[in-house]
Structure 1
Amino acid sequence: MSIHDLAATIAARKAADPDSSWTAKLLAKGPEKCAEKFGEEAIEAIIEAVKGDRAKLTSEAADAIYHLLVMCAARDVTLADIESELASRTKQSGIAEKASR
């Protein structure tokens, strides 16, 4: 599954019955719960990165990406929106981009 497929699945689940889909259930709990879940998964990925277990980091990174996209979907931010932002950043150096914030 590509990240685009994942984003499309998450978008489709926004209208699904929360009893039939984990994604729909999470989205039904609201953006705050989605953000909390992303935070938990991000911390788990950080822990595995520090430990150095490649397989566990891969698994936790996948969970973090999924929950990041769910959190964004809860606030109607699409993968296309994120890609557009990333594309705008490629026009300047990372140092210049950081300084502009």
Structure 2
Amino acid sequence: MFVVLLEFATNKSQAAHFMEGHKAWLQRGFDDGVFQLSGSVLPAAGGAVLAHGVTRAELEQRVAQDPFVAEGVVGAKIIEIAPSRASEPLAFLLA
């Protein structure tokens, strides 16, 4: 399981230009069953995505396709988590 931190970068002011592409990228991740949760990092620091069911290499490739990453709107940091406990609704993350 991974947490992808998308931290605003030098080209932050261009976010509006690439927002639709970023939203489409997120939707593909959810449609593919890879993204489990996404949201903003507060206060206005960027975003985060919880990803599951892929290898780090596959996720790195997917993250590179985000228009926000490709256009320097955000920098991406991928954190790998080895879950050992989960609440019942999140038990699937242990697999």
Structure 1 length as normaliser, TM-score?
0.27
Q: Select the structure with the greater relative contact order (CA < 8 A; seq sep ≥ 6).
A: 2
Structure 2 length as normaliser, TM-score?
0.28
Where is the strand percentage greater, Structure 1 or Structure 2? 2
Where is the helix percentage greater, Structure 1 or Structure 2? 1
Bigger Rg, structure 1 or 2: 1
